[in-house]
Amino acid sequence: MSTHGPSVVEGLPYDATAISELAETWQPRKGVWGALTSVDHKVIGRRYIVTAFVFFLLAGSLAALMRLQLVRPENNFIAPDTYNQLFSVHGATMMFLFAVPMVLGFGVYFIPLMIGTRNVAFPRLNACGYWIYVFGGSVFWIAFFFGSGLDTGWFSYVPLANLDFSPDKRVDIYMQTVTFTEISAIITAIEIIVTVFTQRAPGMSLNRIPLFVWAQLVTAFMVMFAMSTIATLSTTMMAMDRLVNTRFFDPDHGGDSLLWQHLFWFFGHPEVYIIFLPATGMVSSILPAVTRRPVFGYTAIVLSLVATAFISFGLWVHHMFTTGVPQVGASFFTAASLMIAIPSAIQVFCWLATIASGRPRFTTDMLFVIGFIILFVAGGLTGVMVSSVPFDTQVHDTYFVVAHFHYVLVGGAVFPIFAGFYHWFPKLTGRMLSDRLGKVQFLVFFIGMNLTFFPMHWLGFEGMPRRVYTYTAGLGWEDLNLLATIGAILMLIGIGLFVWNVGAALTRPKDAPPDPWQADTLEWWTTSPPPPWNFTYLPVVQGRSPVWEMTPESPRVIGMRTDIREVLTTTIIRAEPHTRHQSPGNAISPFLTAASVTFLLVMLIFTPKAVLIGAPFVFGSLMMWGWPTGKPEKEHREEGI
């Protein structure tokens, strides 16, 4: 545990010429063209965060409508078909368009900063990933506004989702929406893995990388396997069943309803840990600043992250306990589901130890971390309960499960995300959010969340199933539903307060200091917000809390070119520098590629010929992408052969 000196930013002396050259080399172009061609990871990361938040607001409004419908029995505020779209679009949006892009977006923004490099490994690919995400999400929501919203649930079980029971285009649109988001997630995962393994600042060996980065790295590996699974399942098997009459899920032709469930949940269970693990990384990143000590148990936490990732791929059948799976097999999945509590518990204990032995400071980001611990542990404990097959047969598909997963997702992901907003807002925008308003927001949101979801545990025990647009009077469900609706309104108010806080902050001048929280990771070693090239001199890292360990005499990297975009690649384990790598600059080809992919996938909703018609466009934009820029003085030409 070390005390730390004042923030060291860049240090003096520096070469003013170097900075102005860097500015010219790394500056994006202006205006709309600049926005379409930027490959700056901070621009792209910020876009992910803002877009994901917009989807959060959209999906949240749907939830508010659902709660209004359920406030009293046999209500006729929302018709059944509309309600079925509401809960399906709510779930799909929260899972695919908000949660994963949000946490990965934080990764895209902060990882290069935290590991001391200038950009991600494949900057144009990064840009393309964002465009694909926003185009796909837009297609999904535009369809919803035109009455073609998904109505079979985000899990879209067969046979209900087969052509004979869902003859319209709603399911096809959803299958391709999933395609967009999974391509985007896989692209981001590749960025994270390659950047973290090859571009860390000299001296940042693997056992010195921030826990935030470890969490993102582990998650990225999970994404590679889980998202590829859903790609095969939804994009290929299900879409083809509906488009060209393959028979994967058609029981009349040898297909199997449970095959869908197995494959979906093989993706679906890791998916929730893909959302949760980066959130734990955010918590581990914020705690040192608000407790003024490094997180306790670095190695234990890293091992817990890895263990959680592995075990999470072995749990999926616990979503199928009521389908009549044989008892012995089911017990295996109970054991795995119980076992995964252990690494999560280790993380919680390490955080508790950090808090107990640190000097806590109660700024809003800390409050959201505390809220996270309170809510996530509750959700984790109900998770332990539903691991039990007998118990699960009673509460599966009831409001008890709705309560459980909202505690782990709102508590376990949304609260850390809000903590992250308050903590990193100055770095992202150069301004501080109001801490006082933040505390009010926290209180309203925390109370609202509990009021909404705690009664649902009881509703499940009282027999209320999920996904029902209304319910019979006299079963004792009225009061609990009323409470839940009031809680939902409080949550809405809380989010409204946050939006107001952000709006007000953005009108203030950009005067946030580089390190307002006295935090320890490298993103705080540069200005708020960082310049496009992140660091004028890349740091040389000597410990796990670089900013706390830096002094004006700490060595830096010199000798990188400032007239072309250059990043330093280093060895995988010990981060010894070995190559200077040229990093691509602004380009329009990522946007064009995303547009042509969108064109192909949207057409694929309607006809398989889309592959033939769309492929030339995709191919063309990829050719443009790979074409050499042909400006000899702007490349590493001395390596010509």
Partner 1 sequence: MTGGRLAKVGGLAVAALVGCEGSQAALNPAGPQAGRIAGLSWFMIVSLSVIYIIILAVLFAGLIGRRHGASDESEARLVRWVIIGVAITTGYLVVLMVLDVSVGRGLSSLSEDEDPLIVDVIGHQWWWEIVYPAREPNRTVTTANELHIPVGRTVRIRTSSVDVIHSLWIPRLHGKRDLVPDHPSVFHLRADEPGIFRGECAEFCGLQHAHMSLLVIAQPEAEFRAWQAAQMRPAEEPADIIRRLGMQTFLNGTCPMCHAVAGTSAAARAGPDLTHFGSRRTIGAATLDNSRGNLGGWILDPHHIKPGVNMPANPIPADRLDALISYLEGLK
Partner 2 sequence: MRERHDLDVSRLPTVAFGNRNQTWWGTIGFMMAETTTLGIFVSSYFYLARNRDSWPPGAPLPDLGIATVVLVFMLLPVIPKALAIKRGRAFDIGGVIRYAAIAIALALVGAIFRIREFDTLNVRWDDNAYGSVVWALLCFHTLLLVVDIIEESVITLFLFSKHREKKHLADAEESAFYQFFLSSVSLVVYLTIYIAPRVMR
Residues at the interface with partner 2 (CB under 8 A) = 121-122, 186, 189-190, 193-194, 197-198, 202, 221, 224-225, 227-229, 231-233, 236-237, 240-241, 244-248, 250, 253-256, 259, 262-263, 537, 540, 552-560, 568-569, 571-572, 577-582, 619, 626, 628, 630, 635-641
Nearest distance, CB of residue 151 and partner 1, angstroms = 9
381 binding partner (options partner 1, partner 2, none; Cβ < 5 to 8 Å by kind): partner 1
Does the N-terminal peptide bond of residue 13 adopt cis geometry, omega within 30 degrees of 0? yes
Tell me if the bond preceding 529 is cis, omega within 30° of 0: yes
* Least distance between partner 1 and beta carbon 27 (Å): 45
- Name the residue nearer to partner 2 (CB basis): 141 or 267: 267
Size of the site for partner 1 (CB under 8 A): 84
Enumerate residues 6+ apart whose C-beta is below 8 A from 402. 453, 456, 460, 466
CB neighbour burial string for 258-269, b if at least 16 within 10 angstroms, e if fewer: eebbbbbbbbbb
Task: State phi, psi for 376 to the nearest 5 degrees.
Answer: -65, -40
The item of partner 1, partner 2, none sharing an interface with residue 429, based on CB under 5 to 8 Å by kind, is: none
**Complex with partner 2: residue 194 or 489, whichever CB lies closer:** 194
The nearest distance, CB 121 to partner 2, in angstroms, is 5
Q: Which is nearer to partner 2, 74 or 639 (CB)?
A: 639
| C-alpha to C-alpha distance for 261 and 263, rounded to whole angstroms | 6
AA identity, residue 103: V
The interface partner of residue 461, options being partner 1, partner 2, none and the CB cut-off 5 to 8 Å by kind, is: partner 1
Contact with partner 1 (CB under 8 A) among 18, 21, 64, 157 = 157
The partner in contact with residue 231, picked from partner 2, partner 1, none with C-beta cut-offs of 5 to 8 angstroms by kind, is partner 2
**What tokens does 173 get?**
């649109």
Handedness of CA 488, 491, 493, 496 (dihedral sign): negative
**Residue 242, binding choice from partner 1, partner 2, none, Cβ under 5 to 8 Å by partner class:** none
Q: Is 359 in the site for partner 1 (CB under 8 A)?
A: yes
Contact 110, 42 (CB under 8 A): no
Residue 247: other Cβ atoms inside 10 A: 13
Q: Can you read off the two tokens belonging to residue 93? A: 């949006």
Q: CA–CA separation, 501 vs 245, rounded Å?
A: 52
In the range 180-239, which residues lie near partner 1 by CB under 8 A?
A: none
Task: Give yes or no for residue 392 binding partner 1 (CB under 8 A).
Answer: yes
Least separation in angstroms between residue 358's CB and partner 1 is 8
Query: CB under 5 to 8 A by kind: which of partner 1, partner 2, none does 625 bind?
Result: none
The DSSP code for 72 is S
**Residue 630 binds which entry of partner 1, partner 2, none, CB below 5-8 Å type-dependent:** partner 2
28 near partner 1 (CB under 8 A): no
Query: Can you spell out the DSSP letters for 73-106?
Result: TT--SS-HHHHHHHHHHHHHIIIIIIIHHHHHHH
Is 290 a binding residue for partner 1 by CB under 8 A? The answer is no
258 binds partner 1 (CB under 8 A): yes
Q: Which does 6 bind (CB under 5 to 8 A by kind): partner 1, partner 2, none?
A: none
Question: Please, is 306 exposed, middle or buried when counting C-beta atoms within 10 Å of its C-beta (0-12, 13-18, 19+)?
Answer: middle
